[in-house]
Amino acid sequence: MMEHRNGEVKSKRPAWQDSVLIASLVLIAVALVAGLTPFAQLWGINHLSYVPMLTVVVLVVLSAALQCPPAQRLALALGKPAASWIDRRRSPRLKRGWYLIPLCSFPLLWGFRSRTYLQGDGMLLTQALQLGQSFRWTEPLSHYLYTSAFALGNRIWGQNPVLVYQAINCVAGVLFVGLALLIGRDLARQSAARVFIFCCLVAPGATALYFGYVENYSLFYLACLLFLWLGVRTALGRGSLVHTALALSIAVMMHLAAIVFLPSLAVLAIRGPRGERPGLRSLIAAAAAFVVPPLLLASWFFLTGIRPGDLDRPAVSLLLPLVGGGSGAYTVFSARHLLDVVNEYLLVAWTAVLLCPALLVRRPIAWRRPAVSFLMTATVLMALFCLFVNPGLGMARDWDLFAVVGLPWLLLSLYLFVDEDRSRRELTRATFAIVSVALVVTFPWVLTNADEGRSVARFRDLLDYYVDLPLTAYGHEILSIHFRDHKMIEDEIRELERAAELRPDNFRYAANLGIAYRLAGRADLAIAQFERAVELEPNRFENYANLARAYHLAGREELAMDALEAAVRLSPGFVEGRFSLAGLYLRRGMAEEAVAEYENVIRIAPRSPYAIEAQMRLQQLYKMREEGGEGPAGSVDTGVGP
């Protein structure tokens, strides 16, 4: 943009560029304030508080430097040889060698992969893989892909489901980077605009899904991005409505939350490419592309005998309540939930937030254009999804489910932003502004997840922040399992005590705490917790078996025998309990009862190790009877494993 003064021609800085710069500086300032002060409420942008101070200083200095034109010129000069080297290795099918970037991203994704499964349902999902659960109602295709890969790759990674998730999601990250490059090439003509689009897509915190994140949402996010991109291409007359419907169908099979996008597909079908309504045949083909794949998947599951596996996560209502519960209630329009929604967008779509001021100073937006109406519909639908759907774990812990809410808004902002002609210099400065914000917002988020200690510290802060939500106790249980895996028994006990305190009506927390006490040798405390579990769930044989173990540890064998008798009454096929009960009978001189239980063990599980041992014990008993003895006492193993 040029302006004439006193016969001289001077360049005038565009208003949109000032707005991007100002917005980036504001966002950096908010990240610094949130990271250097104990503001747990700003969980979407406070990740600087979990990295070392020296790292904070380095990142802030680099971020500030990238806002300065001399540093930008230096960075461009340093990057020019690499870009030229890539351009020289052209492929006949791909005009430029930038396809090497996705391949080179894998070492980065793997090197900074998440070190724990504390976010979302990572712990339960890894257990589901080990148990062979191949199907979940909410995410049938994605969970099936992970379990199939686990089954096929056992020879490579053994019985390590965490490694399965990390490897697959890093590979999905390579596909995500490649798709971001394709979107940049498709939406823009000049290279500066393509680089800008690419940076805007990969810079937000949602990219953490591809750093070895242990969850099912990585493939879901990728499928949603593919659907939105194909929808834009269809609206511009460069794509097919059938392909767009097929992409949405795949996204729905990845996770049922994608069904929220269905009205936006309907808007696209009604408006048609470039405002021209598609014919009846095209609409029928699109409908078939959306409906047939889920039917085929369901048929495959039915024919192969795959049935849904229920994960042991406590159930919550699908939608948040509108009102109720007092001043601190977590409702749709409560201040804390609205702040959580803001944090979610700041975490997963801050680049869209950054571009909003620039869009306000552009020419009026043509909302009736098919691409704009398609993306705007999807943006509104995702905003409603984020507002009304219940984040049962707290949105800071369920951030991965809601990661897709920022995608349509981000694509809408990018589409409108690059729709106007902008100079290479202007776009380059805007790109550096994006990178500078990513250094203090997204990179600390990745660093936090990549370090076990920092990840645990953040998880504890989130549990304290959501202390009054029903599933906070579940979070303490997950953290206790993490400590159990690392042989940190005291930390495990502390977290389980907190879970049992928050939910005294849940038998599982009492039982798990009792097991931890027993393993620590605290028999009396274990007995108290197992008695509590029996009181809450008197029809579960495991509670009586665990109680018998605690009684045996305390030397109260008569009570242990009573508890085991109750366990086998509730579960006649409980072989371990019957074998242990027979041993207790022998110790108390009840040979006939012991013989009966050993015979039951052999009858119920004739090929089990317990049956083999029971057969040996019976032979000893019969021999002692013939010789006039009373029979061996034998060793006692009371109950089931932890």
Condensed to tens digits (0 to 9), the pLDDT of residues 105-136 reads: 999 999 999 988 777 677 778 777 776 666 67
Determine the residue type at 378: A
Tokens at 182, concatenated: 């394709």
Per-residue pLDDT reduced to its tens digit, 56-78: 999 999 999 988 888 888 887 77
Helix (H, G, I), strand (E, B) or coil at 11: strand
Q: Is residue 595 part of a domain?
A: yes
Q: Are residues 27 and 171 located together in one domain of the fold?
A: yes
Alpha-carbon gap, residue 109 to 125, rounded angstroms: 21
Residue from 102, 138, 184, 79 nearest 313 by CA: 138
Here the CATH number for the domain that contains residue 590 is 1.25.40
Range of the domain at 625: 566-642
Q: Is residue 510 part of a domain?
A: no
Instruction: Find all residues with CB under 8 Å of 563, minimum gap 6, and list them.
Output: 544, 545, 547, 548, 551
Half-sphere CA count of 132, side-chain side, radius 13 A = 3
Alpha-carbon gap, residue 354 to 449, rounded angstroms: 24
Average pLDDT over residues 78-106: 64
Model confidence band, residue 84 (pLDDT cutoffs 50, 70, 90): low
Q: Is residue 588 part of a domain?
A: yes
Taking the model in full, what pTM does it have?
0.86
Average pLDDT over residues 507-528: 93
Q: Is residue 1 part of a domain?
A: no
Determine the residue type at 190: Q
Question: Is residue 4 classed exposed, middle or buried when 0-12, 13-18 and 19+ CB atoms within 10 A define those classes?
Answer: exposed
What are the Cα distances from residue 498, in Å, to 179, 368, 495, 503, 513? 44, 54, 5, 9, 10
Alpha-carbon gap, residue 612 to 50, rounded angstroms: 55
Amino acid 308: pLDDT: 61
Domain boundary among 430, 453, 476: 453
Domain boundary among 389, 424, 453: 453
Lowest mean pLDDT among 19-33, 67-81, 245-259: 67-81
Residue indicated by tokens 């045949």: 281
Q: Is residue 538 part of a domain?
A: no
Is 70 exceeded by the pLDDT of residue 238?
Answer: yes
Q: Is residue 398 part of a domain?
A: yes
One DSSP character per residue, 191-210 reads HHHHHHHHHHHHSSGGGGGG
Contact in structure between 390 and 255 (CB atoms under 8 Å): no
Report the number of distinct structural domains present in the chain. Answer: 2
Q: Are residues 445 and 580 located together in one domain of the fold?
A: no
Distance of CA 300 to the CA centre of its chain: 26
Average confidence score pLDDT of the chain: 83
Helix (H, G, I), strand (E, B) or coil at 45: coil
Q: Are residues 581 and 449 located together in one domain of the fold?
A: no
Determine the residue type at 521: G
Q: Are residues 571 and 447 located together in one domain of the fold?
A: no
Residue count of the chain, please give it. 642
Per-residue pLDDT reduced to its tens digit, 454-501: 999 998 888 888 877 777 888 898 899 889 888 999 999 999 999 999
Q: Is residue 542 part of a domain?
A: no
Q: Is residue 540 part of a domain?
A: no
Domain boundary among 398, 433, 453: 453
Amino acid 405: pLDDT: 94
Contact in structure between 371 and 275 (CB atoms under 8 Å): no
